[in-house]
Structure 1
Amino acid sequence: MRILALAHNHPGLQPGGTEVVARNLFRAMRDRMPGIEGMFLAAATAALREPHPGTLLQAAPGGRADEALIHLPHFDRFFLSQPDTHGLAATLGAVMETVRPDIIHLHHPLQFGVETLSLLRLLAPSRTRIVVTLHDYFAICPREGQLLRGDGRLCGGPSLDGCRRCVPDRPSADFVLRQLSLRDALSVADALIAPSRFLRDRFVEAGWDAGRIAVLPNAVPDDRPAAPHRAVLPGARRDRFAFLGHINRFKGSLVALAASARLSAEGVPHRLALHGGTAYQPEAFLSEFGAALAAAPAARHHGPYDAPELPRLIAAADWVVVPSIWYENAPLVVLEAFRHRRPVICGDAGGMAELVRDGVDGLHAPIGDAEGWAEVMARAAGEPGLWERLVEGIRAPPDLDAMASAHLDLYRRLLRRGRAMSAPAIAAAA
């Protein structure tokens, strides 16, 4: 089988969750599964890598022959549209001749644009099947795909009036056109994938066909030893918390810091370590983050980290916190925490709450509520036997081989049954 995988960035340039999952999946299939060939093609902009004059293609970080960057400088984030179809057609045509894919897997329409799906269908051999993973809510939410209202409240789903309130500078017609164009563009795909049931259900509630969406969970590598648990004396408190991820407003670092400040004010001993970079964040947020950090004496920001450092960082923690103020989809940090047998405290809705079983392998806290988070963290640090019981409840997350096998099974079903594959058959791959 020959696979062309496309992602809106390369994790060697920006290690976001979607980029990491997309490349890990491709590498697991390409390197570990017999008979799998292909290419991983990642979009790039000049902000992360300067293009070579005269060509859209460039070698990807790491220098692998089966990975490349494609420079796409123009993109409309509202309509998820890529206007440079002429240059893209020529480049993708050459890629298609080289790869001759049986499967094209698009991991996000960002940078590539939804028009690229129709372009790929025209350029690809007739036998080729197209798969799209819905890694977030971009296709149904015009406000950066987060289903988060302008006032910070969670959004139950798109509506014309609600979307206009969130994006007031757009006329009503734009929202209708966006909805129609995205649904029409994604109908070109032979199957859609959601990494969580929660995400699938949000799309179904927005009018998408549930039968076209297979739920295939994400996975994390298991090629490094699990981080040992921190040595403590019998009966000692498990009161060290770790935040791992991008430092931005939506990942909830401000919520975690406010909760930590409350605990310190109440005399609750604990430590909060924040690991993650602040690149590309607006000055207003950075100022707010600095003030929140200064007000939380038990918290420390340790800056960005690389993936190989993760076991060492987790080894110093008893709990991993995921205080995101939006629903999330299937955050990798939860899987990494479970991989290293750390219970997780996360928001009480969305894909993160789907992964973490409250009272079984972690605890739920009210999304965006610092006071509620402080109460849950105080319980986590102080309740005798709770940490041990939750550790025992942790199930090992899927590994990359399992994720690759599940995707290959779906690919093979599509290739066997062709474009007439029924909706129940797609859903049966979940």
Structure 2
Amino acid sequence: MPNLLSMNSYHYRRGGSDVVYFDHAALFEEKGWNNTFFSMHHPNNVDTPDSRHFVSLVDYEFAQTPVQKARTALASIYNREARAKARQLLAGRQFDIAHAHCIYHHLTPSVFDVFNEAGVPIVLTAHDLKLACPAYKMMNSNGICEECKGGNLLNTVRNRCIKGSLAASSVVAAEAMLHRFLKSYRRNVTKIVAPSRFYRTKLIEWGWEEDRVIYIPNFAKEVDSRFTAGHTGNILYFGRLSEEKGLATLIRASARSGVAVDIAGTGPEREDLETLIAQVQAPVRLLGRLDGDALWSAVGSAKAVVLPSEWYENAPMSALEAMQLERPMIGADIGGIPELIRDSGGGLVIPSADASALADALSQIEAMPQERLAQMGQSAARYVRREFSRDRYFQRMDELYRECLRAPGGRKA
């Protein structure tokens, strides 16, 4: 039985990358692989016997004193404990593949050369653009930024790309410069998985070799079809309420068009969005966090689902889930969003951060006959079920793993 090591900073479903971390491991166990998790301790972690070799918590939220904050900063740049725990792990068992998800700032790439020295191929899924830019969203308070493409990582500090903070930006720039000097990614990572064609293209633009970056879209777990209904609800956004999601633009577009929009989710922008809704008198409802049947009922009856993002989205799981429930999409022409909509024929693509264009799209969907909405939604669902299925994902990833194992130095399964 081949052995897989799944690495991720968090061992609970905190965001989309963590969902992929868990679902990937479960799928490979189902297909006959033996999986071991490697992560860090956190109060929200899911119980697992593998936690005995997890590393200590690295999180500024839990660092109170200046000394704790300094230690957290150093560990987020290069985690010596994670490196030592990786060595202990390898002393007790063999692995055929080590698959890294989001490990920077917590486990850090300090663990990579431990596996490389042991002949264990490392596959890394690029859930964001950290492999190219120190600021993994590739944006700052002024919007999208690619100034570091020329090689000067101090732009991260100059532009205060991380939360507008000089201190946080300095730590992230130091981390990026150290691992560039050590060639932590370049020397150790065997293959990079890009879940969208856009991410593959962007990583290659920033200097990664074409044959090293492989397009393998994430799989979307099936959503219960009993939630698929007519298109009688409002246009819906569901997800995190954060600045890069373009929700302020969506609210202005709703006010301009007069089209009602529902927003489901929580996040740091909630209060600002409430204020903006009142200021522009937009017909927008903030539904708060929806889970389980309540969420799927809202999605499955929405007239359409909107993704007004203003950053380089990858392949949003929310889009795949909505498309499975036969929802037409309105998506910004940024990151991996347009390829989902154009390839599926399941919606409208509009310029990112353009309230006027988004208002026109909202009005188009609002005026569209039910038959046309159903047509678009069914086209989207067929595409997702074909291209983002569990079996298709496993086949592609299994082939990639086997290629890594055949490479010089790869452990033979």
TM category (shorter chain) comes to 0.7 to 0.9
Structure 1 residue 206: Cα displacement: 1.1
Choose from 136, 153, 159 the match for 2:150. 159
- The corresponding residue for 1:275 is 264
The amino acid that maps onto 1:245 is: G
* TM-score for the superposition, normalised by structure 1: 0.79
Choose from 31, 35, 38 the match for 1:33. 31
- The corresponding residue for 1:393 is 379
User: Is the alpha carbon distance of 1:400 and 1:97 closer, same or farther for their aligned partners in structure 2, counting shifts above 3 Å?
Assistant: farther
User: Is the alpha carbon distance of 1:91 and 1:244 closer, same or farther for their aligned partners in structure 2, counting shifts above 3 Å?
Assistant: same
**CA distance in structure 2 between the partners assigned to 1:309 and 1:250 by the alignment:** 25
Structure 1 residue 305: Cα displacement: 2.9
- The corresponding residue for 2:128 is 136
**CA distance in structure 1 between the partners assigned to 2:149 and 2:257 by the alignment:** 37
User: Is the alpha carbon distance of 1:84 and 1:348 closer, same or farther for their aligned partners in structure 2, counting shifts above 3 Å?
Assistant: closer
User: Is the alpha carbon distance of 1:189 and 1:359 closer, same or farther for their aligned partners in structure 2, counting shifts above 3 Å?
Assistant: closer
The amino acid that maps onto 2:330 is: I
- Matched positions, count: 382
Q: Deviations over 1:88-118 (max 9, x none)?
A: 2332233334552111001123211122211
**CA distance in structure 1 between the partners assigned to 2:59 and 2:190 by the alignment:** 27
Q: Does 1:147 align with 2:146?
A: no
Aligned 8 A contact 2:10 2:40 in 1: yes
**CA distance in structure 2 between the partners assigned to 1:191 and 1:137 by the alignment:** 15
Map residues 221-236 of structure 1 onto 2, 5 A cutoff.
221-222=221-222, 224-225=224-225, 227-230=227-230
**CA distance in structure 1 between the partners assigned to 2:217 and 2:72 by the alignment:** 26
- The corresponding residue for 2:16 is 17
The alignment-based identity, stated in percent, is 23
Q: Deviations over 1:225-274 (max 9, x none)?
A: 35222265xxxxxx72111111111112222222112222xxxxx43121
User: For the aligned residues, what is the CA RMSD?
Assistant: 3.2
SS in 1 for 2:374: helix
**CA distance in structure 1 between the partners assigned to 2:319 and 2:107 by the alignment:** 28
**CA distance in structure 1 between the partners assigned to 2:348 and 2:94 by the alignment:** 47
Structure 1 residue 407: Cα displacement: 1.2
Give the unaligned 5+ runs of structure 1. 50-59, 233-238, 265-269, 422-430
**CA distance in structure 2 between the partners assigned to 1:275 and 1:176 by the alignment:** 35
User: Is the alpha carbon distance of 1:240 and 1:324 closer, same or farther for their aligned partners in structure 2, counting shifts above 3 Å?
Assistant: same
- The corresponding residue for 2:330 is 345
Map residues 77-96 of structure 1 onto 2, 5 A cutoff.
81-85=76-80, 87-96=81-90
**CA distance in structure 2 between the partners assigned to 1:250 and 1:83 by the alignment:** 28
Structure 1 residue 301: Cα displacement: 1.3
Q: Does 1:240 align with 2:226?
A: no
- The corresponding residue for 1:289 is 273
Aligned 8 A contact 1:343 1:391 in 2: yes
Map residues 12-411 of structure 1 onto 2, 5 A cutoff.
12=13, 14=14, 16-30=15-29, 32-34=30-32, 36-45=33-42, 48-49=43-44, 60-61=45-46, 63-65=47-49, 70-73=55-58, 81-85=76-80, 87-110=81-104, 111-122=106-117, 124=118, 126=119, 128-143=120-135, 145-153=136-144, 155=146, 158-160=149-151, 163=155, 166-167=159-160, 177=177, 180-181=180-181, 183-222=183-222, 224-225=224-225, 227-230=227-230, 240-264=234-258, 270-278=259-267, 281=268, 285-294=269-278, 295-306=280-291, 309-357=294-342, 360-384=345-369, 386-394=372-380, 395-397=383-385, 398-411=388-401
SS in 2 for 1:371: helix
The amino acid that maps onto 2:405 is: L
SS in 2 for 1:92: helix
SS in 2 for 1:220: coil
Aligned 8 A contact 1:80 1:114 in 2: no
Structure 1 residue 80: Cα displacement: 9.6
**CA distance in structure 2 between the partners assigned to 1:223 and 1:412 by the alignment:** 30
**CA distance in structure 1 between the partners assigned to 2:293 and 2:181 by the alignment:** 41
**CA distance in structure 1 between the partners assigned to 2:159 and 2:331 by the alignment:** 25
- The corresponding residue for 1:427 is none
**CA distance in structure 2 between the partners assigned to 1:209 and 1:37 by the alignment:** 31
Give the unaligned 5+ runs of structure 2. 61-70
Structure 1 residue 419: Cα displacement: 3.8
The amino acid that maps onto 2:277 is: L
Structure 1 residue 404: Cα displacement: 2.4
